Structure 1
């Protein structure tokens, strides 16, 4: 198994979990917040997908799927197109209302496809390349990829938890 295979498997597991977390939910269920300042399933899945899209597009030197494939217009959120949800206030979380689970999975699947296409060509020798010098120590490509995967897994786990406690 190569490093690329390992990462593709990890991001594939995120994709499967995203589908499971939103399958069959309507817009109100996607927006449900189990506490006044909690994140909704819709926000969690939108955010994890936006972060993956943003971070990997930068690494790939490609335009984000969000804008390149018109998802920004399809979601019609009252947010700047560059917004990924990082640091959102409770009001901003509430403003992320998604019309359908299908829209979320369509966006996630498109980001996943772009991610996998890029990862398929990844070589182990590339992992030490520094991609962000704003941190101490500077962030390597390998660390950034694990960071995105970790963030995705945490947020999709949260979405699955919220789904499990939503009223039926």
Structure 2
């Protein structure tokens, strides 16, 4: 197994986590906020998918799936299509009101397919390429991809936690 295979496997596990987190959730459960400042399952999965879509599209030099394939319109949120959730206020989090778990998994699956296709174009040596020299140390392609994996895993775990509470509440 090489480095690319490891990354493909990691993103595959995130995909499974996303599907498990939202399965059998209705609209109420997808949008359950444990308090006024908490992020619901729908927002968490949308956000982790937006981050992956944004960062991997930038690395690949492509348009994001969210806009290129009409997902922004399908979601229909009252947010700028470039919004990924970073720094969202409680009101912006509430604007990410998801009505159907299939919308979340459909968008994630589309991003996952694009991610895997991109990763399959890389060789191990490509992971060492510096892509952002504004940091010390400079950020390499591999570091950026691992950062996305880390962010996605954390948010998928948070979504699973909130989903578990929502399932027990019904």
1:25-104 equivalences under 5 Å are: 25-104=25-104
CA distance in 2, matches of 1:12, 1:28: 27
The count of residues paired between Structure 1 and Structure 2 equals 168
Q: Which moved more, 1:28-37 or 1:47-56?
A: 28-37
CA contact (8 A) 1:4 1:121 kept: no
Structure 2: gaps of 5 or more residues: none
Displacement after TM superposition at 1:86 (Å): 0.7
Tell me the alpha carbon deviations over residues 111-156 of structure 1, each in whole angstroms, 9 at most, x when there is no partner. 0000000111211111111112232222110100000000000000
State whether structure 2 residue 155 is matched by structure 1 residue 135: no
Structure 1: gaps of 5 or more residues: none
Displacement after TM superposition at 1:64 (Å): 0.3
* Counterpart position of 1:8: 8
**TM-score (norm: length of structure 1):** 0.98
CA distance in 2, matches of 1:138, 1:90: 33
Question: What is the DSSP-based 3-state SS (H/G/I as helix, E as strand, rest coil) of the residue aligned with 1:127?
Answer: helix
Tell me the alpha carbon deviations over residues 26-52 of structure 1, each in whole angstroms, 9 at most, x when there is no partner. 111111001111000000000000000
Displacement after TM superposition at 1:74 (Å): 0.2
* Counterpart position of 1:122: 122
